[in-house]
Chain A
Amino acid sequence: SYVLTQPPSVSVAPGKTARITCGGNNIGDKSVHWYQQKPGQAPVLVIYNDSDRPSGIPERFSGSNSGNMATSGNTAALTITGVEAGDEADYYCQVWDSSSYHWVFGGGTKLTVL
């Protein structure tokens, strides 16, 4: 089965840039989606199709996949620039595995704003 690997935690100072990675075999061939989940709340879609932002999501959130120039290898990434205290949350990547007809989530990354 397809596996997505995320770092358990990422820490960043306010105003700096956070980068959360999502590794998977040939992930560049897939569309990667990212979700933000704050404590006690439902997940919220923040990036879809590698790099598109739903309406209402700040431009500070961006995404990339190994199919483009911003990342390399079998890695997708969520980048948050000018990190704010309110960005502290768990972040999950997701892909559709067309070989098994399964949705797959990464294990999640806890973003801590120092």
Chain B
Amino acid sequence: EVQLVESGGGLVKPGGSLRLSCAASGFTFNTFGMNWVRQAPGKGLEWVSSISYSSRYIYYADSLKGRFTISRDNAQNSLYLQMNSLRVEDTAIYYCARGQDNFDCWGQGTLVTVSS
């Protein structure tokens, strides 16, 4: 069974940092592109970042302005999102999602709350 499990969310003060992880299982991780998508409370889906299977291609939403870094460890079947200089408006559920042509499998998400 394909499974994606996010972790690393929590409460952080503005200006702080967090590193999210996504553990993948049930499929050949190193053959799939991966993505992060977030959803602010009561709002719609917002694409955050994507990384190709080999890490050769990496893309970010313009709104991040260089504060977030996506990475992956194919040996560990894991996806990461390093988030720096966090702002109140980064408060959201962060989902990891599998796929490069569409997002065919999603984790349950991890909540990041940025508040003083």
B104 touches A45 (CB 8 A): yes
The answer to whether B45 has its CB under 8 Å from any CB of chain A is: yes
The answer to whether B78 has its CB under 8 Å from any CB of chain A is: no
B104 touches A35 (CB 8 A): no
B103 touches A42 (CB 8 A): no
B104 touches A43 (CB 8 A): no
The answer to whether A54 has its CB under 8 Å from any CB of chain B is: yes
A94 touches B103 (CB 8 A): yes
A92 touches B102 (CB 8 A): no
In the complex, what residues of B have CB within 8 A of residue A44's CB? Answer: 106
CA distance A49 to B102 in the complex (A): 8
Size of the chain A interface, CB-CB below 8 angstroms: 24
> With A35-B45, A42-B95 as given contacts, are A48 and B102 in contact (CB-CB < 8 Å)?
yes
A103 touches B35 (CB 8 A): yes
A92 touches B59 (CB 8 A): no
Contact for A105 among B45, B105, B108, B109, CB less than 8 A = B45
A42 touches B106 (CB 8 A): yes
Q: Which residues of B (92-116) have their CB < 8 Å from a CB of A?
A: 95, 97, 101-109
Contact for B47 among A31, A102, A107, CB less than 8 A = A102
A102 touches B61 (CB 8 A): yes
In the complex, what residues of B have CB within 8 A of residue A43's CB? Answer: 37, 45, 95, 97, 103, 106
Which A residues lie at the B interface, using CB under 8 A? Answer: 1, 31, 33, 35, 37, 41-45, 48-49, 54, 90, 92, 94, 101-108
B47 touches A105 (CB 8 A): yes
CA distance A49 to B104 in the complex (A): 12
B103 touches A104 (CB 8 A): no
Q: Which residue on B lies nearest to A54, using beta carbons?
A: B104
The answer to whether B73 has its CB under 8 Å from any CB of chain A is: no
A42 touches B109 (CB 8 A): yes
CA distance A82 to B82 in the complex (A): 44
In the complex, what residues of A have CB within 8 A of residue B46's CB? Answer: 105
In the complex, what residues of B have CB within 8 A of residue A90's CB? Answer: 44
B108 touches A42 (CB 8 A): yes
> With A1-B62, A42-B95 as given contacts, are A104 and B47 in contact (CB-CB < 8 Å)?
yes
